[in-house]
Chains A and B, each alone.
Chain A
Amino acid sequence: MDLSSLLLFQLVNGVIWGLIIALLAVGLNLVFGLLGVVNVAQGALYMLGAMICWQVVRWTGSYAAGLIAAPLVAGPLAVLIDRWFLKPIGHDHDLSIIMTIGLALVIEQTVFLIYGADVRAVSAPINWSLPLFGMSYPGLRVVIAIVAVATLLSLALFLRFTQFGLWMRAVRFDPDVASSQGVPTQLVFAVTFGVSAALAAAGGALAAPIVNVRHDMGVDVIVVVFIVVILGGLGNLFGSAIFAVLMASMEGVASTFISPPDARLLVLCLLAAVVVIWPSGLPLRGIASR
């Protein structure tokens, strides 16, 4: 394999991983934009999605069933979490960060108690491959990318063209005014939280066939998600999706030349510099905000 095709291969891999990260980041940002809550448990919900997918695949043998079940279980669960744990503390900024750290621990350790520390793999249901730059690229990853893009697009369409999407944008703009205009803000909060968790769980289910499924798989992913969200601008959905893909492909390309941990370190240092210079995200508001 020559260098250019190896680079392209890593780049495509990076883009696909970035799309999964984007699902989590957009979910996180959706909740932050509406409630001002930084949900640290997003990584745990991602893990939960992967674990549900593994369990359903074990029961039914169908990856598609697992992919559908994960967000359907995690979404309503998150609505209950919001109602029982975050609403009572008034969605306070600092307290909710601490609360979601606690919730992440509870979710992770409960899964650990049930499933143990074994590394689980979800079997790849797709065996065809795509000819790409003179190599054969696994079809599974192509399908994952398509599902991720379709999910992100349908979220964008939902926000743009449905009544509920309009409410969500209105509440985000000004909850008090929206409420006085008859928007059921509490319902909007609950649904937003559910949608955010469903996105994370879908990300987990999509990642399940290409990563090791384990109770602690979300711990390091959440760091990447946070970085992406900050870079794209807190509350900026489009920005976080773009930066998820950019950062993951950057890391993929860098790891062609240096070891993967060094690539991670290099990207982290670059990003830290960006956050220090632009603490509230890159100045992209003009082109990327919506």
Chain B
Amino acid sequence: MAVGIAPARDRIAMSLRYQLVPFAAILALAFVPGEARYATTLISEVAIFGLLAVSFDVAFGIGGMLTLATALFFGLSAYMVHHALASLQLALPLAVLAGVAAAALAALLVGLTTSRVKGAAFMILSLIVVSAGASWAQSHREWTGGDDGLGLDAGVLTLFGAPLNAIAQYRISLILLAAGYAVALLYARSRFGRVAAAIRQNDLRAEYLGVNVAAVRVLTFVLSGAIAGLAGATHTIVFHHVHTGLLHWSVSAEALVYAYLGGLGTLAGPLLGAALMTAIKEATGQWAHVSELAVGVMLVAVIRFSPRGLVPLAGLLWRRLTAARGPVPGCLTRDVARLAQDVRNG
């Protein structure tokens, strides 16, 4: 028993059936035909950045740690999977595992050294860590290939001896997305996840209740790093190319944008945010670089007018339409629902 933090089940506003919507969507997307190369590439991109946004949501939305180090774990895993496939000739599942393990290990190291640091200092420390990683990678071009990066011969992508064609790679990206999302959801609903949320709300109170605050923070951070690692592995599998740009902190900022757009702390929201933002970027992409501007404008607009993101907003609208009582759909924890209600009230 996690020391009296876990409240009665009905007090936690976890509406599980709404959390199943993303799984249904992922399953439906698996039937997109392989000829639709444009669509599959785009959806794979959503899978990668959706996972990255979920990783950020686990760290900040659930754990309350405003981290910009996501890109470090993402890039590290992408390089690790590349190395495992190209140089070590490992099987694909083992390569993915190696990438995720490397990301988790790096997150463990960063988490252990920073477990005492909170608030703005934590954000800045994570920024230092990610810039140190990026500048190390940049200065060792002989290993990382620098900005130009390293290509991967698609021939090494095999699963149980059979070569993977484009549609198989696409479906693997969906499977990895579903797996990462499921792990995040299970964590949020587990006792650890609730304790992590309690620490976010008031770390002093949690500590007085006997919670090992540092341990739960490190655990949450490692999980977030592992999910970012899954995103990095997916990137290598889909795009067959790694470069040092993957390690830049602006990649973390992008994940943060998606998470905020969809709704922080909702897990489904970050996925929706990634899908929506990828669509907007694609629609505006024909005018060179307007897409980056669109990301910024969307972020500013969301924070300005609906700071809790789109999923809680949609949940509130649904609530209002049906005039029902109880938890707000799509909101994982009670405090997000309460904050969303504050926003509604004024």
Contact = CB atoms under 8 A, between A and B. Distances in A.
Interface of A: 32, 38, 85, 88-89, 92-95, 97-99, 101-106, 108-110, 112-113, 219-220, 223, 226-227, 229-230, 234, 259, 261-262, 264-265, 268-269, 271-272, 275-276, 279-280
Nearest to A234: B120
A89 B139 contact: no
Interface of B: 66, 113-114, 116-121, 123-125, 127-129, 131-132, 135-136, 138-139, 249-250, 253, 256-257, 260, 289-290, 292-293, 295-300, 303-304, 307
B128 A268 contact: yes
Contacts of A97: 66, 120, 123
Do most interface residues of chain A lie in helix, strand or loop, or is the interface mixed? helix
A176 B125 CA distance: 31
A262 B116 contact: no
Contact of A279 (B117, B136, B249): B117
A286 to B, nearest CB: 20
B253 A101 contact: yes
A275 B117 contact: yes
B299 A271 contact: no
Task: Indicate the member of A85, A101, A103, A262 with the most B CB atoms within 10 Å.
Answer: A101
Given A89-B307, A272-B125, A265 B139 contact: yes
B287 to A, nearest CB: 9
Contact of B114 (A234, A261, A276): A276
5 contacts: A94-B66, A106-B296, A106-B297, A219-B250, A272-B113
A109 B289 contact: yes
A88 B304 contact: yes
Contact of B299 (A92, A102, A112): A102
Task: Indicate the member of A38, A89, A230, A259 with the most B CB atoms within 10 Å.
Answer: A230
Contact of B132 (A32, A105, A259, A272): A272
Contact of A38 (B123, B139, B260): B123
Given A93-B120, A234-B120, A276-B116, A105 B299 contact: yes
Contacts of B66: 94, 97
B127 A223 contact: yes
A108 B297 CA distance: 12
B128 A102 contact: no
A197 B263 CA distance: 30
Contacts of A262: 139
A229 B128 CA distance: 12
Task: Indicate the member of B129, B249, B296 with the most A CB atoms within 10 Å.
Answer: B296
B262 to A, nearest CB: 13
B140 to A, nearest CB: 9
Nearest to B116: A279
Task: Indicate the member of B121, B295, B298 with the most A CB atoms within 10 Å.
Answer: B121
Given A85-B304, A98-B256, A105-B296, A276 B135 contact: no
A268 B128 CA distance: 6
A129 to B, nearest CB: 32
A88 B301 CA distance: 12
Given A223-B128, A234-B121, A105 B295 contact: yes
Contacts of A93: 119-120
Given A113-B289, A275-B125, 10 more contacts: A85-B304, A93-B120, A94-B66, A105-B296, A109-B296, A220-B131, A227-B124, A230-B121, A272-B132, A275-B121
A106 B132 contact: no
